Structure formats: C-alpha cells, structure tokens
Amino acid sequence: MSPKPRATDVKERLVEAAIRLLDEGGPEALQARKLAAEVGVSTMAVYTHFGGMTALVDEVARTGFLKLSAWLAEVGETEDPVADIFSLARTYRQAVAEQPQLFAVTFGQSAPGGERATLSDLTTEEGREAAQEGLEAFDHIVRATERAIEAGRFRPADKYQAAAQLWSALHGFVTLEASGHFGAGEQGIDHILIPLGITLAVGLGDTVERAEHSTEAAKAAWRARTRNAGQGGND
Amino acid sequence: MSPKPRATDVKERLVEAAIRLLDEGGPEALQARKLAAEVGVSTMAVYTHFGGMTALVDEVARTGFLKLSAWLAEVGETEDPVADIFSLARTYRQAVAEQPQLFAVTFGQSAPGGERATLSDLTTEEGREAAQEGLEAFDHIVRATERAIEAGRFRPADKYQAAAQLWSALHGFVTLEASGHFGAGEQGIDHILIPLGITLAVGLGDTVERAEHSTEAAKAAWRARTRNAGQGGND
DNA sequence: GAAGCTGCTATAACGCGGTTATAGCTCAAT
DNA sequence: ATTGAGCTATAACCGCGTTATAGCAGCTTC
C-alpha cells in the first residue's frame, strides 16, 4: 500500500517536530524556520502541507486531543466504575503534566473540530451523531459515569450532565495546577484532586466510604500501570 | 493633588487601550503599533513605560486579576454562605463571559505575581502572609467556605482545601464554557454550573434541599443585582 | 536667570519571523 | 519520450517588536 515511504512523511514529521519544539521551548520556539531546520526541509513545506503556521498549530492542537483520547482509552474498565473515573482523572492529569505546552495549545483553541459540537448539543438534544473527535475524550468520562449510575453508585441522572460536572472539575484542577497554582510535583493530587473526586462522587450519590475505597483502588491500579509501562509509552 | 494631568496618564491609557484591542480583536490585535495609534503616541511609549510588549501583557494580565477580585469583592456576604458561594461563581463566570480575551490572557500567564505563592503554600504550611494579590480572588471563596463550615452547612474540613475544590470546579466550567464546549448563552449555567454547585455542596456536607434553596437565593440576588446596576459597572 | 540634568517623546532604522513568487525537480500517466 | 501534477529550495517581501538617536519640557543648581 505504501511502496515509497521515501521522504513523503514530511507532514507527520512536521507535526512531531512542532510538538517537540513546543514542549522544549514553549510557544515562542514554534517557528516556521526552526521547524524547517529541525525536519531538514525548507519553510515552504509548512505551506505546501498546511497552508500556514496557524493551520499547523491547529493540527498540533488536534493531535493533542487525539493523544489524550488514546491515553484515556488505555485505562479500560473494571468492576468499580467510580475507581475508573479516578483512573481517567489521573491519566488526564498525567498527560497535561507531562506535556503542559502541548495541552496549553490544545485547550487554547476553541471547540475542537470547528465551531459546532458543543456539549450542550449532547446534554439537551439528540444531535449526538455530530459528536466530533474532540469529544472522544469526554466520551470516556460519560461511559464511566453511565456505569456508575447503573451500578447504583451515583443517583439516577443525565449521564452527560453528570459527566460534564466531572469534566469541569477535572479540567479546572489540571489547568490551575499547570499554571502553577497548586505547587509542583504530586502534592496537588493528594491534597486537592482526590478530595475533589470524593466530594463529587458523594455529591452525585456515592457514600464516603465507597468513594474513598475507589480512590485507593485507582491509586493501586495507577501504581501497577506506571510500574509495567514506565509512564506514557503510547504511540 | 493632580495639578497637571495633562498627558501623563499614558501608562494607564496604554493598558486600557490594550484591553480594548484585546477584547475587540483577540490576541492578534494586541500590537505595539496599533496600541500606539490607539492612544495617540509613538511605539516608544511602550518601552519607556513598560520595557516591552511582554511586560505590558503581564500588566494586562495583572489588571484582569485585579478586576476579577474587585468584582468578587462586590458580592458581599449574606446569612447564607452557600448562596454566597454560588453568587461568587456567577460573578466569576460573568466576568470571563464578558471579557473572554482578557481573562484568557490573565489565566494564560503562570502563577500571578511571579513564581511563588502557590496554593500549596496555603494548604500545607503557614507561609500564608506571602499571599500575592493574584490570590485575592481565591480568598473570597475561602472566606465563604469558612462561613459555610462554621454554619454547619459543610462538614468540618480544611477551608483552603475545600475552597480549592470549589475553585477548580468553577474555573474548569468557566474555561470550558469560554472555549465553546458548553454552547452559547446562559444554558451552561442552568445545565451544568448549578448542578455542579449542588453536587459539590452536597459532597462537602450540605443537604440537597438546602443546596437547591441556596442556588435559588443566589439566582434571585443575581437578578436583583443585574437589574440595579446593569451589568459590571465597576471602575 | 542661565546651565545642566532627567525623563519622556517621535523618528527612523534594524532584525526576525510569517509569507509568497518563482523556478527546478521527481515521478506517475500517457 | 512527453506531459503534467505535486513537492521542493531559494530568495525576496512585509509586518511587527525592538533599538539607536536626537529633540524637548521641566526641574534643579549655582
């Protein structure tokens, strides 16, 4: 199918190099000339393959969403849906902590995939097949929330609405932590993220005891996962 | 006191014009030449007063924090601390909804006031007198949380830790809404923010009935406030 | 009151980064 | 072999942040 992968993966290499420059040097390092030098081509490649730097940055943002979705997809499902939600949260937080510059760009863009497909389309009407790929990451939270409701851990509720609450809280924590408001290292997880998760679970109908137990289960699963696979290791 | 306010408020006018350009044209419109033309001076003014565009943008970000703090300070305290928390949330959301570009810059900067004064300093140790002005906004939430604990609405807990949970959730909602993920208009408030607030209040110890009552009280207070003062109207 | 110092200003130029015009190349199809 | 499409490198253009420089107002000092 691909008889000549000679040097025709320039487009992909540009995006990869862009993410590398972004993570290493911040947004200021994301320049057409540096990018071209990094890949070993001329700046024209940016225009033949993307049309301009802004479109390339859009592609970088889209790649961030796809990587996040892929990471969340690796979490899988256990018999404890609330623990799965905590595992998704840890994964979401880990992705942003490892590549803060990339996800700053990703979240800095407006609604992914264009201007439509807002969450309100999901929570209010049934135009849900229009769900863009940018909402794939959200779908993982929705499914775990649905299972928590079915298992009786959460009160009966609109799964999209409940998941949007969880996503808001998680995203807020991750964003503020990435901005430096919660200090460095893992302390934000123990001091804020886990208590926040318990608060939300209890508020959605879980008991304090079961919620706390689920945080421990998620922590154990996290340790096992990071031990086996290093950290990340996707792609 | 000010015998010659002739043309010596150039620095303030530059910041004001920067915020205006930012809100009207986005980050791309925030240019030294446009800024100078807007104020009626040359681009040199940016360098004599700030030293460069980045320092001016930092000042814009700082101004955003101060405006947010000023808005939150206007909320005041009632006998229902949970309702006050909801009022703070509505105000926080309103500020960002009205000037999304300004607060995108404000939140885009790292921890305000430099690199220190993270929240972990507040939640773990007592080096709290180092609290920067950037955390003034957070203080309003902390105080309302403290009153909610004292009133028995929330379970006994570390007020900073509980407030950080509320702030994370609120900030996440506001950020995602500003990115377009929750649709336009006020629907995000009713569909997500209010349910999220109830979830958090209940998770922190309140009853569903009292939490719902407080959301109604906050909504009524909000209507009264926006009716009297238009909207915003500070400065 | 004249001299000098300080702070602010406008003008003009420099450097860098995004972009574009253009010509040459490779390769598949005819 | 010829043609044409797609990709490429080179080189120039343009806008924006920045800086060098000179002029000017106002205050201090003798």
Six-digit token string for B116: 């220190």
Give the count of beta carbons closer than 10 Å to the beta carbon of residue B68. Answer: 23
Q: For residue A126, what pLDDT band results from cuts at 50, 70 and 90?
A: very low
Hey, are the CB atoms on A165 and B169 less than 8 Å from each other? yes
Shortest CA distance to A235 belongs to which of A9, A94, A66?
A66
Residue B1 CB partners (closer than 8 Å, separation 6+): none
pLDDT reading at A64 higher than 70: yes
Q: CA-to-CA distance for A161 and A158, rounded, in angstroms? A: 5
A224 contact to strand C (CB, 7 A limit):
no
A6–chain B nearest CA distance, Å = 38
Write down the pLDDT at residue B168.
98
**B54 has a chain A CB within 8 A of its CB:** no
A105-114, A154-163, A211-220 — which is least confidently predicted?
A105-114
| Smallest Cα distance from B45 to chain A, Å | 24
A181 CB neighbours in chain B (<8 A) are 111, 118-119
Asked if residues A104 and A30 have their Cβ atoms less than 8 Å apart, the reply is no
Q: Which residues have CB under 8 Å from A121's CB, separation 6+?
A: A127, A128, A130, B183
Residue of chain B nearest A158, judged by CA positions = B191
Question: B135 falls in which pLDDT band (50, 70, 90)?
Answer: confident
Kindly identify which residue of chain B lies nearest to residue A122, measuring between CA atoms.
B182
B111 in contact with chain A, both atoms CB, cutoff 8 A: yes
Strand C and B162 CB separated by under 7 Å: no
For strand D, which nucleotides have at least one atom less than 7 Å from a protein CB? 7-11, 16-21
Average pLDDT over residues B85-102: 97
Strand, helix or coil at A153?
A: coil
B123 vs A216: which has the higher pLDDT:
A216
Amino acid at site A86: F
Identify the band that residue A113 occupies on the pLDDT scale cut at 50, 70 and 90: very low
How big is the CA angle at B20 (ends B15 and B26), to the nearest 5 degrees? 110
Distance from CA of A167 to the nearest CA of B (A): 8
Of B213, B218, B199, B208, the C-alpha closest to B93 is B218
Largest separation between any pair of C-alpha atoms in chain B: 60
Distance from C-alpha of A89 to C-alpha of A72, rounded to nearest angstrom: 9
In 3D space, the residue among A28, A151, A25, A35 whose CA is nearest the CA of residue A83 turns out to be: A151
Nearest to A197 by CA among A103, A93, A97: A93
- Contact indicator for A216, A208 with CB cutoff of 8 Å: no
The pLDDT of residue A116 is 43
CA dihedral B61, B64, B69, B71 (to 10 degrees): 180
Give residues with Cβ within 8 angstroms of B139, minimum separation 6: B131
Using an 8 Å CB-CB cutoff, list chain A residues near B188: 120
For residue A115, pLDDT over 60 is answered with no
pLDDT at B136: 82
Q: Would you state the pLDDT for residue B131?
A: 45
Read off the pLDDT of each residue in A205-227 and give the average, rounded to a whole number. Answer: 96
A153 contacts A81 by C-beta, under 8 angstroms: yes
Confidence of residue A135 (pLDDT cuts 50, 70, 90): confident
Nearest nucleic acid nucleotide to B56, CA to C1' distance: D17
Band of the pLDDT at A29, cuts 50, 70, 90? very high
Q: Residue A120: pLDDT band by 50, 70, 90 thresholds?
A: low
Residue of A118, A162, A204 with shortest CB distance to B183: A118
Is A115 in the B-facing interface, judged by CB distances under 8 Å?
Answer: yes
The pLDDT assigned to B118 comes to 60
Summarize pLDDT for A65-80 with one digit per residue, the tens. Answer: 999 999 999 999 999 9
Distance CA(B117)–CA(A96), nearest Å, equals 21
How many A×B Cβ pairs under 8 Å? 145
Mean pLDDT within A164-191? 93
Are B168 and A161 within 8 A, CB to CB? no
**Across residues A99-125, what is the average pLDDT?**
67
Q: What is the pLDDT of residues B4-20, one digit of tens each?
A: 334 678 999 999 999 99
- pLDDT: which is higher, B108 or A223: A223
pTM (whole model) above 0.95: no
Structure tokens at A135: 């909402």
pLDDT score, position A110: 59
Strand C: which bases are under 7 Å from protein Cβ?
8-12, 17-22, 27-28
Cβ contact B48 with chain C strand, < 7 A: yes
Mean pLDDT in residue range B18-47: 95
Check CB contact of B212 with chain A, cutoff 8 Å. Answer: no
B73-82, B105-114, B161-170: segment of lowest average pLDDT: B105-114
Max CA separation in chain A (angstroms): 60
Query: Is A127 an interface residue toward B (CB < 8 Å)?
Result: no
A55 touches strand C (CB under 7 A): no
User: Other CB atoms closer than 10 Å to residue A35's CB: what's the count?
Assistant: 23
pLDDT, mean over chain B: 87
Q: What are phi and psi of A182, to 5 degrees?
A: -115, 15
Q: What is the reported pLDDT for A13?
A: 95
CB burial of A7-16 (b: ≥16 within 10 Å; e: otherwise) equals eeeebebbbb
List the single residue in B111, B164, B184 with the smallest CB-CB distance to A179.
B111
Within an 8 Å CB–CB cutoff, is residue B198 touching chain A?
A: yes
Q: What's the whole-number mean pLDDT along residues B18-40?
A: 95
pLDDT bucket at B44, cuts 50 / 70 / 90: very high
Residue B116: pLDDT above 70? no
Instruction: For chain B, say whether A191 makes contact (Cβ under 8 Å).
Output: yes
**Closest to B149 (Cα-Cα) out of B227, B226, B69, B81:** B81
List the single best residue of A161, A192, A206 to mutate versus B (max B Cβ within 10 A): A192
Q: Are B165 and A123 within 8 A, CB to CB? A: no
Interface test with B, best of A105, A124, A160, A165 (most B CBs within 10 A): A165
| pLDDT value of position A229 | 74
The pLDDT of residue B121: 59
Read off the pLDDT of residues B194-233 as tens digits, 9 standing for 90 and up. 999 999 999 999 999 999 999 999 999 999 998 877 654 4
- What pLDDT was estimated at residue A114? 43
Residue whose tokens read 């320039």: A10
> Would you say residue B1 has pLDDT above 90?
no
Q: Tell whether B53 is within 8 A of chain A (Cβ).
A: no
3-state secondary structure B168-195: HHHHHHHHHHHCCCCCCCCHHHHHHHHH
